[in-house]
Structure 1
Amino acid sequence: MFDLANPPAGFVANPFPFYDDLLRQSPVTPQPDGSYLICRHADLSAIYKDTGTYISDKKQAFAPKFGRGTPLYEHHTTSLVFNDPPLHTRVRRIMTSALTPRALKAMEPGLIATVDHLLDNMPQESDLIEDFASVIPIQIIGNLLDIPMEERHPLRDWSLAILGALEPTLTEAQLARGHAAVTEFKQYLQDLIARRRAHPGDPETDVLTRLIQGDDSGKLSEIELIQNCIFILNAGHETTTNLIGNGLALLHDHPDQKSRLLNDLTLIDRGVEEVLRYRSPNQFGNRETTAEVQFGGHKIPPGTNLHLCIGAANRDPEVFDNPTQFDITRHPNRHLAFAAGPHFCVGLTLARMEGRIALEHFLKRFPDYRLSDTRTPGGRIRFHGYQNLPARLS
């Protein structure tokens, strides 16, 4: 039996052949701890849309994992992604109102300038994660919250430590790093929020000011405000880093697709969608059942944790023709990289914009880049990407 908490050798670096086997042989797999692994696209789509039977609240699951009252428990049970209506509805409405088309359009020139500045200063021997992919979302989120440039250095390490705590199994050291990161980030945000209250920005473009001010439905509490600022960084950082890094790796490893894109850059949007499908930055979601349900012949009791395997669902042959083929012209592309239903990713438009601009501008500048043989996988189960991606740019 496939055990997500103790996966087979090779799974972390390359889970995709294992997903193909699960889809063929065991798309609904009971786990030793009583949870279930769900792999089919149709099953995930149905679960995402039914917020009554399948809840996002993780208090029951996270209490033994993090300990009640601990920094990680407070964060992951307060942030948007692990909450249900009415809190989810209220927080999401305020957050969505801060990410308006006007605000996103206003961000694009700064995003292009950031990408071009990075490309101007990249050495011939570069790490495409450290020198490029990971820098972009940190700067964009820093701009979103109007964090002073000189105060952005710790943001990435905080985010990696907090998100790393969502892995199926943790060492004591990983747990300690996660708790410390939440504590330090909270302390920083308390000071930043106090400064912003004293000197508000333009709520049309400054997301932090908009979150502080709230909307007609009310304001966030102080703890909701702090934890959802952390969530904005976490949700937009590692996933977007992985989108850009995975895209550059896939195009390098599929030179026919890279040539096709270079010959017709109008395919860039479809190319981004295919990267999201083929190598989803976020490989897993979770829900908890509130009633007995049936999937694949299994009766699943209420209170059961479900591991929603996005990476497998995006290779489901019932939905995608030739699902193991990387095809930048694929259309339609009904991937679940941003989830679905009421919990679909609030920042998907921004993530797509970052991916499109980063990949397009990089390819224009360095069409003949070569990756070395020493690329380092990210080493995570929930989030899939690279820790290092060394390359020669020309």
Structure 2
Amino acid sequence: MSPGISITPPMPPERVREIAASFDLRALPADFYANPYPVYALLRETEPVKRMPDGSYFLTRYADLVNVYRDAQNFSSDKKVEFTPKYGAGSALLEHHTTSLVFNDPPLHTRVRKLIMGALTRRAIAEMEPGLVALVDGLLDGIEQEGDGDLIEDFASAIPVEIIGNLLGVPHEDRAPLRGWSLAILGALEPKLTPEQEALGNSSVSEFTAYLKTLVAHRRQHPGDPEHDVLTRLIQGENKDSPGGLGAGERLSESELLQNCVFILNAGHETTTNLIGNALVALQEWPEEKAALLAKMESLSSDAAALEAAMSTAVDEFLRFESSNQLGNRRALRACEVGGVPLEEGALVTLCIGAANRDSAQFANADVLQLTRENNRHLAFGFGIHQCAGLSLARLEGRIAIGRFLRRFPSYRLTAAPVRGGRARFRGFLHAPFGV
């Protein structure tokens, strides 16, 4: 199968070798951001457990990532040791990223995940579908009226902000800053942080938590339905007698409550935006896959269950092929070994999800987009106790958004080169102008 229009530029072999030889997450060149996969492939073949200049380790093999994900006894997700010098003691960014669900171990991780999952049950997510369909169709109506738009600004980014705003019960009139806050806070997770990113990240955490204090105070006085309102569920989790309550000694502190509300927005916003945007751009590069998907959608239009299954399979392949979140992190709690390489106690480890999801030892034709790929055990949502709590919601958003977009605009085309986000951790686009 041959690609269509060129959006992801090829990288000459000599350039691949040059970047791989001196690979450093803190000094990545522009052409790496455009297409990191050839470098990942060479590292997988030659140095799958790569010692980087700062002494940390970079893992690119699928099997090695799974082994680390599984080994919570030897590898910690707690980032206080690494983030304290990065952000500075007492900073807003430090408080946020060391209190949120993703960068913590049990028992905090267990307490918060239990409360979030209680509002993301299968039934609760199914009940979101009609509202999601209405939201997507409204965005498509606006695009159709204009005749063109931006896949990211006018479509992909608008969906998760609304869905998560609904989950937290954020009034519609208050949602305008959410995307900017999220981009700034997540941007501060990049391996190399500029003073501008740091300042914007700190101010965004401070502004968001200040807003949330007011929202939390109001919700305590006027609680929502804990079966659907995550914020109400987090608040009521403080009460051991509430449904889903945690019990005495396990209640969330004020900081834990606020920072994990920030996390819920961040975790579901950019990754879902990237899923939708990456998918629609990838279909421009792989027109045969696009044509086959459209044909399947047409043939299954009268069989809702089969159509849902086909679109779910396609969404998982988009997640594998262009993982929204490319990097994860762990710290070795004691001396141990990964992939035959000994690690010292305290060693920092970067798990390259983007590389593992292109590992030919796990995926046949790993560098080819195959929307009918079966048994697709990708790592886009992580693995083990830290697997993404919102993965079912993300899959629903991807399935509805991509499917309804293609049904409405089967002949859409990019009208200018899309602009990538220019980040190593989160892979997506800032802009992708298109016409219908």
TM-score tier (shorter): over 0.9
Query: What is residue 183 of structure 1 aligned with on the other side?
Result: 206
SS in structure 1 at match of 2:271? helix
2:416–2:432 Cα contact (<8 Å) kept = no
The correspondence for 1:250, drawn from 247, 267, 282, is 282
Measured in 1, the distance between the counterparts of 2:245 and 2:181 equals 32
1:343 is aligned to 386
* 2:103 partner letter: F
User: Does structure 2 retain, via aligned residues, the 8 Å contact 1:96–1:346?
Assistant: yes
The aligned residue for residue 203 of structure 1 is 226
What is the rounded CA distance, in whole Å, between the counterparts of 2:338 and 2:234 in structure 1?
Answer: 40
State the one-letter code of the partner of 1:359.
Answer: I
Contact 2:414 2:435 in 1 (8 A): yes
- 3-state SS of the aligned residue for 2:330? strand
- Pair 1:382-2:414 in alignment: no
Asked whether the equivalents of residues 292 and 302 of structure 1 are also in contact (C-alpha less than 8 Å), the reply is yes
Name the residue aligned to 1:319. Answer: 362
CA contact under 8 A between 2:274 and 2:427: conserved in structure 1? yes
1:16 pairs with 34, 37, 43, which one?
37
Note if 1:38 corresponds to 2:59: yes
Which residue does the alignment assign to 1:131? 154
Task: Report the TM-score when normalising by structure 1.
Answer: 0.98
Q: Which residue of 1 aligns with 2:108?
A: 87
Alpha-carbon displacement from aligned partner over 1:219-263 (angstroms, at most 9, x marks no partner): 322111100000000000000000000000111211111111111
Shift of the alpha carbon at 1:102?
Answer: 2.2
Q: How many residues align?
A: 393
Letter in 2 for 1:247: A
1:1-394 alignment runs, 5 A limit: 1-122=22-143, 123-214=146-237, 215-218=244-247, 219-265=251-297, 266=307, 267-393=310-436
| RMSD of Structure 2 on Structure 1 (CA) | 1.0
Q: TM-score, normalised by structure 2?
A: 0.89
CA–CA distance in 2 between the matches of 1:261 and 1:128? Answer: 19
Looking at structure 1, the residues matched to 41 and 252 of structure 2 have their Cα atoms a distance apart, in angstroms, of 43
2:64 and 2:339 in contact (8 A); partners too: no
Alignment partner of 2:416: what SS?
Answer: coil
Deviation at 1:124, TM superposition (A): 1.5
CA–CA distance in structure 2, aligned partners of residues 5 and 177 of structure 1: 19
Three-state SS of the structure 2 residue aligned to 1:68 is coil
Of 141-150 and 234-243, more deviation after overlay is shown by 141-150
Whole-Å Cα distance in 1 between the matches of residues 272 and 30 of structure 2? 27
The separation in 2 between residues aligned to 1:303 and 1:205, in whole angstroms, is 40
Could you say what secondary structure the match of 1:10 adopts?
A: helix
Q: Tell me, which stretches of 5 or more residues in structure 1 are unaligned?
A: none
Q: Is the 8 A contact 1:106 1:205 kept in 2?
A: no
Q: Note the alpha carbon deviations across 1:327-351, whole angstroms, 9 max, x for none.
A: 0011111100000000000000000
Whole-angstrom CA distance in 2 between matches of 1:164 and 1:5: 14
Instruction: Please report how far the alpha carbon of residue 7 of structure 1 lies from its aligned counterpart in structure 2 after TM superposition.
Output: 2.1
Q: For 1:12-41, what per-residue CA distance to the aligned partner results, in whole angstroms no more than 9, with x for missing partners?
A: 121111111111121110011110001110
CA distance in structure 2 between the aligned counterparts of 1:89 and 1:23, rounded to whole angstroms: 33
1:329 aligned partner, one-letter code = T
* Larger deviation, residues 130-139 vs 106-115: 106-115
SS in structure 2 at match of 1:204: coil
Where 1:11 maps in the other structure, the secondary structure is helix
- How far, CA to CA, are the matches of 1:217 and 1:227 in structure 2? 18
Q: CA deviation at 1:216?
A: 3.3
Q: Check conservation: 1:376, 1:388, Cα contact below 8 A.
A: yes
**Distance in 1, Cα, partners of 2:180 & 2:115:** 27
How far, CA to CA, are the matches of 1:76 and 1:54 in structure 2? 18
Look up the SS of the partner of 1:308 in the other structure: strand
Letter in 2 for 1:376: V
**How far apart in 1 are the matches of 2:163 and 2:401?**
12
Find the residue that maps to 1:113 and give its secondary structure.
helix
Instruction: Give SS of 1:379's match.
Output: coil
8 Å Cα contact 2:209/2:258 also seen in 1 = yes
Query: Residue by residue, what CA displacement relative to the aligned partner does 1:189-220 show, whole Å, maximum 9, x if unpaired?
Result: 00001111111111111111111101332332
Partner SS state of residue 394, structure 2:
helix
Q: Distance in 2 between matches of 1:317 and 1:222?
A: 46
CA distance in 2, matches of 1:210, 1:102: 16
**Amino acid across the alignment from 2:236:** Q
